[in-house]
Amino acid sequence: MEYKEAKEKFISTWGALGTLWGINKAMAQIHALLFISPDPLSMEEVMEELGISRGNASMNLRGLMDWGIVYKVNVPGERKEFFASEKDVTELARIIAKERSRREIGPTVRVLKEVSSIEDDGSKKTQELIKKTKEMHELVETADAMLNRMVNQEQNWITKTLVKFLK
Partner DNA sequence: ATAAACTTTCAAAAAATATTGAAAGTTTAA
Partner DNA sequence: TTAAACTTTCAATATTTTTTGAAAGTTTAT
Q: In the complex, which residues of this chain contact its own copies (CB under 8 A)?
A: 1-3, 6-7, 9-10, 13, 17, 19-22, 35-38, 87, 89-90, 92-93, 104, 107-108, 111-112, 114-115, 118-119, 121, 123-129, 132-133, 135-136, 138-139, 142-143, 145-146, 149-150, 154, 158-159, 161-163, 165-166
Among 8, 17, 21, 44, binds DNA (CB under 7 A): 44
C-alpha dist (Å) from residue 52 to 7, 43, 57, 69, 85: 17, 10, 7, 20, 19
Query: Which partner from the list its own copies, DNA, none does 152 bind, CB cut-off 5 to 8 Å by kind?
Result: none
Interface with DNA in residues 71-130 (CB under 7 A): 78-81
Q: Which of 104, 106, 97, 99 is nearest to 151 (CA)?
A: 97
Least Å distance between CB 39 and DNA? Answer: 15
Query: Which partner from the list its own copies, DNA, none does 42 bind, CB cut-off 5 to 8 Å by kind?
Result: DNA
DSSP 117: T
Pairing of strands 41-42, 70-73: unpaired
Q: Other CB atoms closer than 10 Å to residue 155's CB: what's the count? A: 14
Our CA angle for 87, 162, 98, nearest 5°, is 45
Q: Which long-range contacts (CB under 8 A, 24 or more apart) does 19-22 make?
A: none
Query: Which partner from the list its own copies, DNA, none does 75 bind, CB cut-off 5 to 8 Å by kind?
Result: none
56 near DNA, judged by CB under 7 A? yes
Q: Which of 33, 91, 99 is nearest to 67 (CA)?
A: 99
Which lies closer to DNA via its Cβ, residue 57 or residue 112? 57
List residues binding DNA (CB under 7 A).
19, 24-27, 42-44, 51-56, 58-62, 78-81
